[in-house]
Structure 1
């Protein structure tokens, strides 16, 4: 077993032409330097400037939505998206346990309670079929709102997360939200450039969140965005993320508790350059998937996760699923010791101390994947050496 993984590590290093291959690096060239330099020369480097406006307009167009509000990171985007969607303290919010902690954190910032749902082997995201069974068992509608019979709390929203860029079954998710009268707030942090049945992820619900962290498919350094077709929600989100400041020529007036979440112009300049390259990045990501398919041909006990049916994934993080749970940490050790940065999937939220008492359904598939998933280097490549 050891020899095959050492050989795989050596092949990955040859693919990238490096002695050490990080998990994911940003890709920059002269365009980023040009835009950021221009931004510095204007003197407008904080949360007001032409690049912020340009980035919001171009991002909205890219995802096929009417409005985008650029903020400091994806967690802030999800926090505000949930707030303007009507999530309040003591509400429950349905989400996968198999997610990055930002999903659960954003709910907690509002004083709301994460309610953990199992995922599908086909998508790695929320499984609508098992969710429906769970909701039929533990919920009831009261005056048009859904309540958890076991806790007495209102269930206000459902937050699907598109794991590693792979779209969730959004048709099933939308059906759940419609039938049970809950808000759909997509966590599309990882899925910029991914499509479910030719429609961009993040465009199915009332409002959604995207991340542009340094390890995402494109980056603004640190950054995120709220996207929506609802002009009223977009305006309110922008107001809240600008410290709820009322426009005035010279006075500082605020009409509620707000947040200093707006994306700086400097970051937006970087984002404008990166967004221009998204088609290239996606093509290179998909090429990398083909290269990995070739590299794992002779590997025993593992398969490469592929995009779900009727979807086009951005393949943000390349994902291996091991057949034998016993081997996961051994494989990780071999790859990292041989210069190929790899990592397990996130610790499921229900296993973290601060969320261990949150309501949850049976998380059989989540537990299975937690023991078997490995992410391997995913920086886009132009060709790669085989």
Structure 2
């Protein structure tokens, strides 16, 4: 039967198995903690980080203990370990694996205590990268969550949180030349590949209903060819909108002729097939257009999240490069967001102008005296 270790038999952090090799920030955290344990007064030089900024939980607990305890007398600190013992006791309340030997290891591995502020900046940078990655992952996951009652609202809220995180990074890290990320963008996700049957059906129904009700389709300027999954459907939508804007007749045959003029009738696309596609009406163009645009918003948000994730996973990308790359990615989603607002906001109905009816002449004030006889004679 395995023996349960006693509370005081926690393993040293150095002895714990690690499935992943430590990243450079791990050593920066060790160097900073060693500097603060050796020279506690250097805590005044450390800004921009909190216990949660550390990638290692035990390191964060140790930093919190150093920050919360009063600094020792410099001379007394060089003569005994009273303050170090107090720090260890406070930190072990939250991280039981900490030992006195690990504190001495931290002191030994610190290259230069006077570089504490530089170590803190490294920790701040890596924490910002992790925070941005978490927001990007949340955006991508929210965009793919099919259980949400209002998926676009939840996705745009996640995008707003991501944008605020980017603004915070821009305020904390100054700009510098050459700020474009060098990380190549990941390939688009497999959701916008033109093979989603539900999306294809919605696009077919939109084209058919828009052909039957071209006046309604003409008002849907918020829908663009980039929102379609199938190039043929995007081309047919261009045919429809071109006909309506020219004031030309719109029906399946005129749309078919316009498609021929635009070179859409390539090999494998038969005219009879297009006529059948444009004849299957159901619902209204507005409804199917909103469905297509909603899908485009969610797809775009998912891809934006993955693009920003790719930036954060490249350790060579600087914080300000993360800012520039993230803002460019979010700009694409912002354009879709604006069109979604136009599509989903009901058009205000103009109330008829009120016409003022001519009022009957008002009676004059009563005369105080009877009219004179001379005026009557006139």
> TM-score higher than 0.5 here?
no
Task: Write 1 or 2 for the structure with the bigger share of strand.
Answer: 1
Higher relative CO (CA 8 A, sep ≥ 6), structure 1 or 2? Answer: 1
Structure with max Cα Rg:
2
Task: Write 1 or 2 for the structure with the bigger share of helix.
Answer: 2
TM norm structure 1: 0.23
